Amino acid sequence: MEIPFGRPIIGPEEKTAVMKVLESPILVHGPLATQFEDDFAAFTKSPHAVSVSSCTAGMHLIYFTLGLGAGDEVVVPAMTHVATAHAVELTGAKAVFVDAKLDNGNIDISKIEAAITPRTKALAIVHYLGVPVDMPAVVAIARKYKLFLVEDCALAPGAWVDGVHAGLHGDAGVFSFYPVKHLTTAEGGMIILKDRDFAKKLKLLKAFGVDRTHGERKVPGVYDTVALGFNYRMSEIHAAIGIEQMKKLPGFLATRKANFEALEQGLAGVRGLRVLPQPTGGRLESCHYCLSVLLDEPLTANRPEIMAALSARNIGSSVYYPQPVPRMTYYREKYGYDAALYLNAARISDGTIALPVGPHLGIEHMNHIASNLRDIVNGVVK
Ligand SMILES: Cc1ncc(COP(=O)(O)O)c(C=O)c1O
């Protein structure tokens, strides 16, 4: 049995849709990016959606549009993909890191206020592995200090808090459509938000700051540029894939949930590890990106051996994320690293194994993973 950690599910629908674009004269600036935005807005019940070329581009675009630069600070989680921090640093502003909670890897909300200074302009949280952050408490902090609140939703399509989709609690949420995510466009991203004027600004600055789209140009090729901006657009080819993936998303999410529950059950009682929980059915609805197990401290040194044994049995695994971001060389050399500040993030980076639950797999695969991991860990636990 071959069990890859992730595999995009691209069917005949996506292939036909891409071929249709390629056979048409419109590869960018067409109706499909707009349709994908509308479909994504409908799924998340968002007033506005802005397609972008990646989640990183979307987050950078937001901070750039806010006018952040040298001397500004943004509070970000230490336990995340480096993109969450890079998007801040690319503007010249400084990422200020906050440790994670050990129970589920999300930002430790009780430590956010201590990281806020008079220079703080924004606050970013990450719904780690699709487990939603309990947003009302974060929103209260953002309001108290008048901070722009960004939700990094790279792994959070299908995650809800109090019946509101992830990304709509703060001021903007940004999603990723990288291949192994919940849905893919190969590369791509989407910003969702409530504020119409900010959405308009994002649309302007994601396309050079030019004042009219192709469709709005009375004379072809004639436009003005009213602001400094990027080319962070999504092409029609990517959007065509996204539209087809949106139709499949509810099914993908249901399979992820069923797989997660089966694997969690299969791992119950395995000595030496615990499953990081993912809530469903209550205020918080997770969208099950993967199942992460935290090894007991003494077993942490054996993680490479355990992952190699899984790999030898054709079971893919991964690590989310390989280091607390402030410990990564770029940030460590820039700001120094005080290990005492990020104990939980470090414990998660060094002691977890992420196991697959994606829709390319079924219950029989979950049972196979559980029995093999049980075997392997029993061989290691003394
Ligand atoms: C939490 C988080 N944020 C951002 C990103 C970057 O997304 P993209 O590759 O679409 O820029 C990732 C990618 O895995 C991620 O996990």
What residue segments make up the domains of the chain, in order of their start? Answer: 12-98+106-245, 250-380
CATH number belonging to the domain at 12-98+106-245, selected among 3.60.110.10, 3.40.50.360, 3.20.20.70, 3.40.640.10: 3.40.640.10
In the chain, which stretches have pLDDT less than 50?
A: none
Alpha-helical segments (H) within 1-111: 12-23, 31-44, 55-66, 82-89
Atom of ligand 1 nearest to the CA of 187: 10
Q: What pLDDT score was predicted for residue 382? A: 66
Q: What is the CATH number of domain 250-380?
A: 3.90.1150.10
Ligand 1 atom index nearest CA of 177: 10
* Residue in 101, 181, 203, 257 annotated catalytic: 181
CA distances from 185 to 10, 17, 49, 373 (A): 10, 12, 16, 32
Query: Is 80 near ligand 1, meaning CB less than 6 Å away?
Result: yes
Q: Are 323 and 349 in contact (CB under 8 A)?
A: yes
Which pLDDT value is given to residue 42? Answer: 98
Evaluate: CB of 189 within 6 angstroms of ligand 1. yes
- Note the pLDDT of residue 219: 87
- Burial state string for 262-272 with b = 16 or more CB within 10 A and e = fewer than 16: bbbebbeebeb
Atom 7 (ligand 1) nearest CA: 55
Residue 1 to residue 22: CA distance in whole angstroms: 37
What pLDDT is attached to residue 86? Answer: 98
Task: Select from 111, 115, 92 the least CA-distant residue to 102.
Answer: 111
- DSSP, res 107: B
